[in-house]
Amino acid sequence: MSDALAHPAHGRLRRPENFRALRWLPGPHLPTIWASEFRAVNSVNLEFERLELPDGDFVDLATTPNKLAPAVIVLHGLEGSHQSSYARAILAALHGAGFWGVLLHFRGCSGEPNRLARTYHSGDTADLAYVVQWLEARTGVAPFAAIGYSLGGNVLLKWLAEENASARLETAVAVSVPFDLAACADRLNEGFSRIYQRRLVKSMQDKYLLKFKTQASPLGRLDVRQLKTFWDYDDQVTAPLHGFRDVHDYYGRSSSRQYLSDITIPTLILHARDDPFVPAHAIPEATELGAHTALELVAHGGHVGFVSNQPRDHEGHWLERRICSHLRSLNVPRRNGS
């Protein structure tokens, strides 16, 4: 797909020119699993800080040391954390590229249950909005950028659309986004993709049981171990805990695809057509994108995989290089006092 499909009124759909999938990791699943579980990742010493929220809850931040550099917020995926392979990789890459990486752990994802009788979900943008405001108040300068992976990418795109021209960022990057939550829940209940569903749902079940071991659940004596699919878990747990009528209301209001045309800051979306979490029909068309959004599609990359065959990408670091290249393509402002 070339930029010839672009139109002044909407965004661009294109292929990254320098990406070629690694042949010995064919299909959607091998690059997904290898990038997550086996690739070597550079590391950087992280600092941790707890941020108290206005509602009495908290979120934990994991940050790189260079606090005088332009801030880049990182949003992890479902059940992720600073320990996720892609999170460790991008934080190290940001540090090396001269940015201050600030990873926001969604509620309950930093290793300690959050306080309130709720968790996080794909459409919850309030904590991101608060962290953006907090960083600007702390540093005197709005964060330079934000990067969201999978669920974090959905949250980021929805927030950018909600904020519209008021989004206090120079740019944003979203990776492997579940644009249509209902379609993705269906896809994850098919074939080998059920392996990912099983693992993620079990992690959410474990966290639910740990959280409500010491406090009463508002859902009563619900047996979450019987909820095997995203449809069931989100209908019986996620939706009622967060004020949605049911799973259809949750998926309908939280999916980012419907909001993409409202994004007005320069935004890069990186996605693979064979993503085993996202069916092809859920990938947006160019006509759905805002004028300042580019959707770069690779044919084979899996979910947060993007393992390239270039010699320097033998450890699968194309994704971090592409993101940092995008960030550097903008004029990076200097921080006050730097």
Structure tokens at 290: 């805002």
User: What is residue 315's predicted lDDT score, i.e. its pLDDT?
Assistant: 54
Q: Helix count (H) and strand count (E) of the chain?
A: 10, 9
Collapsing DSSP to helix, strand or coil, 50 comes out as strand
Catalytic residue among 29, 105, 303, 326: 303
Query: Residue 223 region, left (φ>0) first, then alpha (ψ -120 to 50), else beta?
Result: beta
Catalytic residue among 60, 180, 235, 275: 275
Asked if 308 is an active-site residue, the reply is: no
CB-count exposure of residue 156 (10 Å: 0-12, 13-18, 19+): buried
The domain defined by 3-179+256-328 folds into Rossmann fold (3.40.50)
Give the residue, 21 or 63, on which the prediction is more confident: 63
The whole-number average pLDDT for the span 109-125 is 97
| Residue 314 predicted with pLDDT over 60 | no
Asked if 303 is an active-site residue, the reply is: yes
**What residue ranges in the chain does DSSP mark as E strands?**
12-14, 47-52, 58-63, 71-75, 100-104, 145-149, 171-175, 267-272, 293-298
Q: 87-101, 124-138, 195-209, 323-337: which range is least confident on average?
A: 323-337
Q: 111-115, 120-124, 236-240, 333-337: which range is least confident on average?
A: 333-337
Look over the chain and give the mean of its residue pLDDT values, rounded to a whole number.
92
Catalytic residue among 110, 150, 254, 256: 150
User: From CA 25, how far away is CA 303, in angstroms rounded?
Assistant: 13
Quick: pLDDT tens for 174-188. 999 999 999 999 999
Instruction: Write phi, then psi, for 100 (nearest 5 degrees).
Output: -95, 105
User: What is residue 27's predicted lDDT score, i.e. its pLDDT?
Assistant: 93
User: What is residue 22's predicted lDDT score, i.e. its pLDDT?
Assistant: 85
User: What is residue 335's predicted lDDT score, i.e. its pLDDT?
Assistant: 52
